[in-house]
Structure 1
Amino acid sequence: MASEKLFRDGLKFQNDVFVLKVSRDRLGVVVVPQKTETPVSLVRDELARVMIEEGIVFGVLAEVEPRPDGSFWVARGSIQRHGDDSRIKMYIKPSVIRVPKVMDKERDQVDFRELGNIVNVEKDRLLLEIIPPTPGIPGQDVFGAEIPAKPGKERKIKCGPGVLLSDDGRKVFAARAGKFVMADGKPSVYEEHVIKGDVDMSLGNIAFGGRHLIIQGGVPSGFSIKCRGDITIGKGVHNSLVMAGGNLKVGGSVLGEDSVLRAKGDVEIAFMENGPFVEAGGHLTVFTSSIQCQALVGGNFYLKGKGTVVGGKYFVGGSVYVRDLGTDAEVQTVLHVGVNPAIQKRKQQLDKDLNLWAERLNKAIKNISALEKIKRERGRQLPQEKAELLDKYKILMPKAMARVHSLTEDNNALEQELKQMTAEMVCVAGILYPGGLISIGNATRYITSQDQQCVVYFDQATQRILIRKMGAEELASFS
């Protein structure tokens, strides 16, 4: 064991001209020259002998290193490196939420659906990873003794709803699509987002990838609202864009020519007027009136309550159920019933493809016939260029025939489907005013006289649109 003197006063050597000292942390050894009348050089062999005698065996320098005070470093130990604590590596920057210190006494918990900005994530997306702690690297003092290093601390993470922790407890994945938040340090994915009031400039346009977007207020002019799932709006929509991947409900009015509402599912609106456009993949239900609007509806069009449709143009894949259609002012109201936009689009594409492949088939047949005729007339092989062209058409012809056959079958099936859509109708429980135009399938009828409690339908026998009185059961369904 090194003597205390070696640390405090040092050990004199080489005729007391130099003093060997070790730092208190045992990580450094210095040689301090003493004052002499004439300069004396340090003898390395003598220094080595003294250090070995004192047990200094680690970190001995090949060359001494001068210090500012005139002494020399002759040995240095290695400092231990403590381990790093585990850390969180974020793959997506979340919205960070803190629970308010003062909570609403009327509520027993914070509704995180109402808090934080929207950071959309897909299901199964890797959100974060806990990087393990490192063990640390031990050091060694000049006497060769190990200086232990402290290992880094392990960090555990608590998860909130909507996330999955990997089996090793290191990775956090989104268990569902929605908004990613760190709620009081807990990674969470919420599939609902709630806006307590109106949409305004502080929120801006909204795009939510979760299951349900709830706006308790309204949407004023100039905003864009999009959600992969359902959208519920408590009040109205004025001259804004709203798009839902599921159902859409609007508790107030939809107003203005710049209002565009689209939903892949059903749409429900209190009332709409002054030129908005509504597209519903499913049913469209309006609870009071629709005035001068445009709509594209995959299912049925229902008018509840007052149930009035005045003006505008509507393309409806199913049937229309309305109380009053038009007004005594004979405002033109256009209804195209039994028109499924998706099927119509498929039919148009099928017709286009069928014409294209039929033309290719005819061209192949004509060219094969012409080239074979030339070959017979010459009684010898065709030139290489024409022979290659003949082979090309012979390869194309069976492919074109198969394609034409397939497209023809698809087209016939689709025509049958379109024919069945002529079974859709317009049911008017109140008054049918003149001035309207109703199309069912390929037939069209202008309404020239007033009628009431009637059904406008397509008669297969006469291939015309007729009007009959509504039955008692049909009328009762409106009440």
Structure 2
Amino acid sequence: MKRNAFFQLVQKQDGVYLKSYPALEGGAPLSVDDILYYLEQKKIMDVSVDDITSFVQKASETVNAEKRIMIGKILPENEFPVVTIDPERKFAKIRLYPPSSGGKRLSFKELLERIGQNGVQYGILKENAALLLKAHLYCTDVLIAKAKPPVQGRDAKITYHFDVDKTCHPAMDESGNVDFHHLDMIEHVREGQHLATLAPADTGISGIDVMGEEFKPKKVVQRILKHGRNIHLSEDGLEMYSDVSGNVTLVDETVFVSNQYEVPADVGASTGDIDYDGSVVVKGNVLTGYAIKATGDIIVNGVVEGAKLATAGKIVLKRGIQGKGQASLEAGGDVISNFIESASVECGGRVITDAIMHSHVTAEDDIIARGKRGMITGGALKTKTRIEAKTIGSTMGTTTVLEVGIDPKLVERYHLLEKDAEQLALERESLVQNVLLLKKRLDTQGKLDEEKLASMKRAGLRIKEIDAALKDNEAERAGLSEEIRKKDSGRIVAENIVYPGVKMTISSVSTNINSEVQHSAFVRDGADIRIRAI
């Protein structure tokens, strides 16, 4: 059994001696500090450190070395236990010093009492205490008590079911070309979408330290699901859901959902194109070449350049649109803009602006140019109801086309059918020529190979399909033409003046303005367009 070297005080006629006993099985040698500590505890102070050092050196060279350390006599010392408790009270150790010559040994019961007197009340290892006495394990630290450790808990954990760290890095194709239009800045969310899950903290289970007191587990981090508006939690507070469709962000462990996406500056290379399920508010401008697509309203505080805006809601441009011939606006609702220049506009509601210049505008409801200028010049405007402005056309005779009283969708469908009929007729003519050529060869040669016979058969079937399609096309065009002809609603109003160069169509009746007309409204009256004073 492993045992450290130890020492004993021996009383002789000529004084007090230290006697050494060797270590066993690799135990530690004697220590000067250990001897000095023992002598200090026993109030034996008149001892030279040099004598102790000399004794330890001699003990390392001689078995059962002896060294006188003082002259005179001392009272016998009994076995002396020293109990040390870990600062965290997880364990306790005991170090037993031998009795001096004439001193007494401790009984097992006495040793346990001493251990208790030193504050150790729980987890005492009695078998170690018994072994300590039986094996004379002096000057050796022996584990005498162990705490019951606590069961450590677990911090609360939140799992977010959305991307909390958008990269805002532009996409790159296989050739290494960077696409600044697709920056992936918005984390979209749907109504009812699961946003986060909270795994509550587990506080753990307390243990008992060697002094018999509660051994608390380490503190755990408590967390809750924090959120803003448009979000609700489950009854137990452990699940988070979105109440609306929009975008979701995480700021300082708080989840925010908004059905309005706000761009703090320009829409351009720093944002890429915007595609959002909700409303979009742009604090700056929308630069040329970029696009905004939304399901709610689009509001731009700045200017729209040659960009594309499309939404199921309305479009509001507070400083207007300078489209450069590249811009397009598509709205399910109204389009309200300070001005519209060199742009294409389609809306399911009204168009309200101060000026429309060189633009193509189609609306389901009124097109109104009001304000300081109240001007419409150049381009083409179409609506089922009314076009109203202060000034229409220009002194330069700029061609300006206005159509009212006809559903633009009907006209668009009619023109599409005309184009389809033309293409079908051309295809039919080509097929007929091929069939005639093959028949001529058949008459001349008396036969055709299988491939040409199959080709002639396919052409014949296709001609029949085209004939049926042309018949349907003609019938639909006739119906649309009649519907357009019967329309007699619609009104064009010029509060100040209409200049030459303006062409007006009300329902199916058209007229060209060849001289200035002031303060007038234009309406259809049978097969004519009448001018009425306002």
What TM-score results when the alignment is normalised by the length of structure 2?
0.53
Distance of aligned partners of 1:441 and 1:137 in 2 relative to their CA distance in 1, 3 Å threshold: farther
Alignment partner, residue 144 of structure 1: none
Name the CA distance, whole Å, in 1 between partners of 2:254 and 2:311: 29
Select which of 374, 390, 395 maps to 1:307.
Answer: 374
- CA–CA separation in structure 1 for the residues paired with 2:502 and 2:413: 29
Cα distance, 1:120–1:344 mapped onto 2, change above 3 Å: farther
Classify the secondary structure of the residue corresponding to 2:339. Answer: strand
Alignment counterpart, residue 340 of structure 2, candidates 263, 272, 276: 272
Amino acid corresponding to residue 121 of structure 1 in structure 2: V
Q: Aligned-pair distance for 1:447?
A: 2.5
The 1-side partners of 2:365 and 2:202 are apart by 62
Q: For residue 247 of structure 1, what is the aligned residue in structure 2?
A: 314
Instruction: Pick from 349, 362, 371 the counterpart of residue 296 of structure 1.
Output: 362
User: How far apart, CA to CA, are the structure 1 residues paired with 2:219 and 2:239?
Assistant: 22
| Compared CA separation, residues 260 and 4, structure 1 to 2 (3 A) | same
Q: Distance in 1 between matches of 2:278 and 2:485?
A: 39
> 1:133 offset after TM fit, Å?
4.0
Q: Residues 444 and 82 of structure 1: is their aligned pair in 2 closer, same or farther, counting only changes over 3 Å? A: same
Retained in 2: the 8 A contact 1:227–1:243? yes
What is the aligned partner in structure 1 of residue 195 from structure 2? 127
User: What are structure 2's unaligned runs of at least 5 residues?
Assistant: 1-121, 167-183, 209-214, 419-474
Of the three residues 392, 399, 408, the one matched with 1:325 is 392
1:220 aligned to 2:265? no
TM-superposition CA deviations, 1:297-332 (whole Å, max 9, x none):
111100112122111112223210012211232221
Query: Partner of 1:231 in structure 2?
Result: 298
Could you say which residue in structure 1 is the equivalent of 2:254? Answer: 186
Contact 2:126–2:144 (Cα < 8 Å) also in 1 = no
Q: Secondary structure at the match of 2:402?
A: strand
Rounded Cα–Cα distance in structure 1 between residues aligned with 2:162 and 2:278:
16
Aligned-pair distance for 1:276? Answer: 1.2
Instruction: In structure 1, give the amino acid aligned to 2:158.
Output: I
Instruction: Find out whether 1:158 has 2:221 as its counterpart.
Output: no
Opposite residue 295 of structure 1, the aligned amino acid is: V
Give the alignment partner of residue 154 of structure 2, picking from 84, 89, 93.
84
Contact kept in structure 2, 1:317 and 1:338, CA below 8 Å: yes
Measure the CA separation in 1 of the matches of 2:165 and 2:156: 22
Unaligned runs of 5+ in 1: 28-78, 97-115, 141-146, 352-407, 472-479
Q: Tell me which residue corresponds to 1:431.
A: 497
Partner of 2:404: 337
Decide which structure has the larger Cα Rg and report it: 2
1:464 is matched with: 527
The residue type paired with residue 387 of structure 2 is V
Q: In the alignment, is the contact (CA less than 8 A) between 2:405 and 2:490 conserved in 1?
A: yes
CA distance in 1, matches of 2:226, 2:380: 55
> C-alpha displacement at 1:169, in angstroms?
1.2
For 1:63-82, list aligned pairs within 5 A. Answer: 82=152
Q: 2: CA distance between counterparts of 1:205 and 1:191? A: 18
The alignment status of 1:207 with 2:278, answered yes or no, reads: no
In 2: Cα distance, 1:244 partner to 1:420 partner = 33
Q: Equivalents in 1 of 2:328, 2:529: separation in Å?
A: 34
Q: Which residue identity lines up with residue 428 of structure 1 in the other structure?
A: A
Q: Is the 8 A contact 1:422 1:440 kept in 2?
A: yes
Distance verdict in 2 for CA 1:277–1:346, change over 3 Å: closer
How many residues are matched?
331
Do the aligned partners of residues 139 and 435 (structure 1) sit closer, same or farther apart at CA in structure 2, a change above 3 Å counting?
Answer: same
**1:441 is matched with which residue: 502, 507, 531?**
507
1:389 corresponds to: none
Indicate yes or no: 2:514 matched with 1:454.
no
Partner of 1:327: helix, strand, or coil?
Answer: coil
Within 1, Cα distance between the matches of 2:412 and 2:129? 96
From the superposition, tell whether residues 138 and 348 of structure 1 become closer, same or farther in structure 2 (CA, over 3 Å): farther
**Share of identical aligned residues, percent?**
23
> Cα 1:456–1:184, aligned 2, differ >3 Å: closer, same or farther?
same
Name the amino acid aligned to 1:195: V
TM-score, with normalisation over the residues of structure 1? 0.58
Q: CA deviation at 1:342?
A: 4.7
Map 1:105-120 to 2 at 5 A: 118-120=186-188
Correspondence for 1:394: none
- The Cα shift of 1:252 comes to 1.9
Write the mapping of 1:376-391 to structure 2, written as runs, cut at 5 A. none
1:254, distance to aligned residue in structure 2 (A): 1.5
CA apart distance, 1:343: 5.6
Letter of the 1:427 counterpart: V
1:202-222 CA deviation, whole Å, 9 max, x = no partner? 2232233333x2223222212
**C-alpha displacement at 1:258, in angstroms?**
1.0
Alignment RMSD (CA, Å): 4.2
The aligned counterpart of 2:348 is: 281
Per-residue CA deviation, residues 135-175 of structure 1 (Å, 9 max, x unaligned), is: 769999xxxxxx99789665322321121112221111112
Partner of 2:75: none
Once the two structures are TM-superposed, the CA of residue 419 in structure 1 deviates from its matched residue by 6.9
